[in-house]
Structure 1
Amino acid sequence: MSGEDRNGSDDGWGRSPGTGDGQGPGPAGFTDPAAQQRHWESLSSQYPSNDGSVPPPVSGPELPPQAAGAASREPQRRFSTPAVAALVLAVGVAASAVTAGVINQTGDDSTPVTSLNQSSSSDRGNTPVSAPDPGTVESVAQNVLPSVVSIQVATREGGAEGSGSIISQDGLILTNNHVVAGAEGGNAQMSVTTNDGRQLEAEVVATDPQTDLAVVKASGADDLQPIAIGDSDGLRVGETVIAVGSPLGLSSTVTTGIVSAMNRPVQAGGEGGGEASLIDAIQTDAAINPGNSGGALVNLRGELVGIPSVIATLGGQMGGESGSIGLGFAIPSNQAEDTAQQLIDNGRATHPVIGARVNTGAESRVRGAEIVSVSDGGPAADAGIRDGDVVTKVGDRIVDSGVSLIAAIRSHNVGDEVTLTVTDGNGGNEREVGVTLSESDAG
């Protein structure tokens, strides 16, 4: 979007209420009417740093919101180089001692005796543990857990805890912006805790609020295990996925589920009134809770396919933050990988736009993305798109709202050429036009 697109706008996104431009989400009000009955919450665990007690939950912002044999992108790219109170769960372990016993049947002394055929405790201690079968959740967990860390951010006012995925041996870690935003500029102490228990100081490398992604650097280690990066474009609905992270501060937690939907446009609010983000999300029913933010969603090959970032809740009727209801959302790994590399290389990330503002309000009278205005000389103008036109598809992907269009455009890169299906405001004059995506002035 050009600078002229934003002139005269009333909101922090540089546009009038109820409009968007492919650069960021519109104002509160998700296009799905059912959104009024639920909340969208960021997933970092937040707590005050006052008395060391179990942290009370804090409500997140209210928001409107491979195949098994598919090949991964080759080669898998490795990233180049250019942190508090914790929830403590006291578990009472009931030790059940099973003794090799003798069972006597009722009767006289001649009654036969049946012995339980059990090994002695010393024999059991020497029994080798077999390796898990490849492609099982157990096997994936063994391989992925060393590549996922807990992230702790401590300020005078309180703190937050989330998760992160290791992307380089020397300590680069991919996470959510809302997990580490409070530590930017050295305004807080940040550390990461590895799966083997090491606690390392860390600092923010760069963040991108628009996509809710960030890269941090842990110091004092050069032997970390980077996570394998998969191809999120190869995911299929129904595919098994595994979430790894630190929900509620419980590190190294593994949960399983499936991909419930793809290309779900989800609007997530910034922490503490910060900049909002719009995610073209993977939806999953794997249990995801506050603290999972920035962790890993992996496939059965142990490849990172998503970054858990947002959950839907029913509003926390009991007065506290709700947990998982089977509606979790993750940033696709392809987008996360591209954005992370830009943050590492340039300290910033670019965002594609079509050079037009769209209606992102729930009151839109059409099914599709209604064009409010077109920027002179922008990609949309060059393609012959006019004010009042409606975009109904990006490629083969159906667009049913302005937010849906923004999310679809965000799934591409600056410079990509995409095909838009466009109609007039009455649904007539359907046509396909090619648009080369330009870079948002906002970066």
Structure 2
Amino acid sequence: MTDNDPYAQDKPGGQSPGTPEQGGWAAQQEPSPWSARGHAMPGYNPYQPGQYPAASTMPGGEPPSPQRGRRGGTAKLVAGVAVLALLVGGGAGTVGGYLAADNATTGSSVNALNEPLPAKDSGDAPAGSVEAVAQKLMPSVVQLQVRGRSSAGEGSGFVISDDGYILTNNHVIEGATGGGAINVVFQNGDKAEATIVGRDPTTDIAVVKAEGVSGLPTVELGRSDDLRVGESVVAIGSPFELAGTVTAGIVSSLHRPVTAGGQGDQTTVMDAIQTDAAINPGNSGGPLANMQGQVIGINSAIYSPQSSGIPGMQSEGGNVGIGFAIPIDQARRTADDIIKSGHATQTYIGATVGDAPSGGAVIGEVQPGSPAEGAGLKSGDVIVKFGDRRIDDANTLVAAVRTRAPGETVTITLGSNRTLDITLGGQPVQPN
């Protein structure tokens, strides 16, 4: 689906992050609060202005009459003080008036409108600044306009080759399958038609190719396996069709199991980067970058609370400071498969898994001839660690497997403290 359906940022999430029963991380068009594509942009919340207390007047009234002394001395003294006060007040007013008049006649008053313009800033943006990241990346970030048989939408993407290959989210362009069309709008306003090279709904990644272009500026891909919580990041995209929008924030968390693409099952769980950089419907498919301007993730989903907290009003989509990006290490591997073979390859172990009551992922059915069977896994085994990563539930295990490439050998730890080595398998993904 495209990001025009107002999303999760494009999409969705979870409570044990990732389970739909808990309101999990859901894709954009899912009723789950984690929506990858998002809902329509929420309106401003009406509110009843508070009643401010009326301004109270200063207490007035006649001053208490002084008690007359034997010779009226007190009364004369009070009268004298009053006269002195009046004189002081009048004198201050007169002096203020003279000063104002003097400024008017001499022209010494300061007026910002009369000041000369400062020198134009012609220096380069400081290295490592948001400005520098934006200058580096924006020429390579594009807006994707997608038309399907019965709907239209838009999202973002970024150029990975100078001859027109563009990386984006599957849910951004899937509406164009079966007779739709994709238009690419570059930063300089140029436009080109694009075709789908390949897509992977299970990871929410797609590659399209702009036709008839050459010499395009490309992004620099970073790595996501060494990210740190608290690290500054920048997001660029086209939220609500506002192309070239730049927002900044930090890495809020890592390894969040989030359901991609709105499928709502384990086949679409991704190992997401969480960020508080503002991400909204339309940002989907755009880059999340580090402060060196290297792309470290693809913005894909946002958390969208279903309730606004105001009686009678619902909140649909929109940034609440919780967004998710697909790690670039995984996206890069998938994009490379798509460009070379036309399809993605999914890493798998060949067994169904569920949540273990005491924590961990419990093995269900083991497929004959699968990596799981080859490693000696049996139904009822509970996996509590995958490599060095603790496994809290089934979605965490699925997300952890997705971070690895087919052919890798990983040590898994069972609840019984027994360890096994498993060589991960790979199978082609055939989109519907």
Which residues of 2 match residues 76-115 of structure 1 at below 5 A?
105-108=99-102, 113-114=107-108
Alignment match, 1:254: 246
* Closer, same or farther: CA 33–242 of 1 in aligned 2, 3 Å: closer
In 2, distance between residues paired with 1:327 and 1:288? 8
In 2, distance between residues paired with 1:130 and 1:38? 49
Match of 1:356 among 351, 354, 366: 351
1:154 aligns to 2:147 (yes or no):
yes
Counterpart AA for 1:356? A
Cα deviation digits, residues 104-149 of structure 1 (max 9, x gap): 951348975436497989x749735222111100111111111110
Cα deviation digits, residues 390-432 of structure 1 (max 9, x gap): 1011111111111110110000000001111112xxxxx3122
Contact 1:241–1:256 (8 Å) recurs in 2: yes
In 1, distance between residues paired with 2:137 and 2:19? 36
Alignment match, 1:242: 234
In 2, distance between residues paired with 1:64 and 1:126? 49
Counterpart AA for 1:332? P
TM-score with structure 2 length normalisation? 0.75
Contact 2:143–2:237 (8 Å) recurs in 1: yes
CA RMSD of aligned residues (A): 2.9
1:285 aligns to 2:279 (yes or no):
no
Which residues of 2 match residues 70-81 of structure 1 at below 5 A?
none
In 2, distance between residues paired with 1:275 and 1:406? 7
In 1, distance between residues paired with 2:103 and 2:157? 66
In 2, distance between residues paired with 1:151 and 1:139? 24
In 1, distance between residues paired with 2:104 and 2:152? 71
In 1, distance between residues paired with 2:382 and 2:18? 20
Alignment match, 2:386: 394
Contact 1:263–1:280 (8 Å) recurs in 2: yes
Greater alpha carbon shift after TM alignment, 30-39 vs 165-174: 30-39
In 2, distance between residues paired with 1:108 and 1:325? 55
Cα deviation digits, residues 287-341 of structure 1 (max 9, x gap): 1111110001000000000001111111154345221111101000011111001
Q: Residue 202 of structure 2: SS of its match in structure 1?
A: coil
In 1, distance between residues paired with 2:332 and 2:17? 29
In 1, distance between residues paired with 2:378 and 2:102? 99
Contact 2:301–2:325 (8 Å) recurs in 1: yes
In 2, distance between residues paired with 1:327 and 1:391? 29
Q: Please identify which structure carries the higher helix content.
A: 2
In 2, distance between residues paired with 1:144 and 1:114? 48
Match of 1:183 among 176, 194, 202: 176
Greater alpha carbon shift after TM alignment, 340-349 vs 317-326: 317-326
In 2, distance between residues paired with 1:39 and 1:108? 71
Contact 1:31–1:64 (8 Å) recurs in 2: no
Counterpart AA for 1:312? Y
Contact 2:27–2:259 (8 Å) recurs in 1: no
* Closer, same or farther: CA 268–105 of 1 in aligned 2, 3 Å: farther
Alignment match, 1:8: none
Counterpart AA for 1:224? L
In 1, distance between residues paired with 2:377 and 2:365? 10
Bigger Rg over Cα = 2
In 2, distance between residues paired with 1:217 and 1:353? 28
TM-score with structure 1 length normalisation? 0.73
In 1, distance between residues paired with 2:249 and 2:268? 25
Counterpart AA for 1:313? S
> Structure 2: which 5+ runs fail to align?
1-12, 35-40, 42-97
In 1, distance between residues paired with 2:214 and 2:114? 43
Match of 1:132 among 103, 125, 135: 125
Report the CA distance between 1:270 and its aligned residue: 3.8
1:371 aligns to 2:363 (yes or no):
yes
* Closer, same or farther: CA 303–156 of 1 in aligned 2, 3 Å: same
In 1, distance between residues paired with 2:27 and 2:262? 8
Cα deviation digits, residues 30-49 of structure 1 (max 9, x gap): 64599767564546xxxxxx
Greater alpha carbon shift after TM alignment, 320-329 vs 300-309: 320-329
In 2, distance between residues paired with 1:431 and 1:136? 48
Report the CA distance between 1:233 and its aligned residue: 0.7
In 2, distance between residues paired with 1:406 and 1:386? 17
1:337 aligns to 2:306 (yes or no):
no
Report the CA distance between 1:365 and its aligned residue: 1.4
Report the CA distance between 1:377 and its aligned residue: 3.2
Which residues of 2 match residues 16-27 of structure 1 at below 5 A?
none
In 2, distance between residues paired with 1:328 and 1:137? 19
1:307 aligns to 2:298 (yes or no):
yes
Report the CA distance between 1:175 and its aligned residue: 0.2
* Closer, same or farther: CA 107–352 of 1 in aligned 2, 3 Å: same
Identity, % of aligned positions: 44
Cα deviation digits, residues 200-244 of structure 1 (max 9, x gap): 111111111111100001123212111100011121000001110
* Closer, same or farther: CA 34–117 of 1 in aligned 2, 3 Å: same
1:142 aligns to 2:170 (yes or no):
no
Alignment match, 2:423: 436
Contact 2:300–2:324 (8 Å) recurs in 1: yes
* Closer, same or farther: CA 342–174 of 1 in aligned 2, 3 Å: same
In 1, distance between residues paired with 2:133 and 2:333? 24
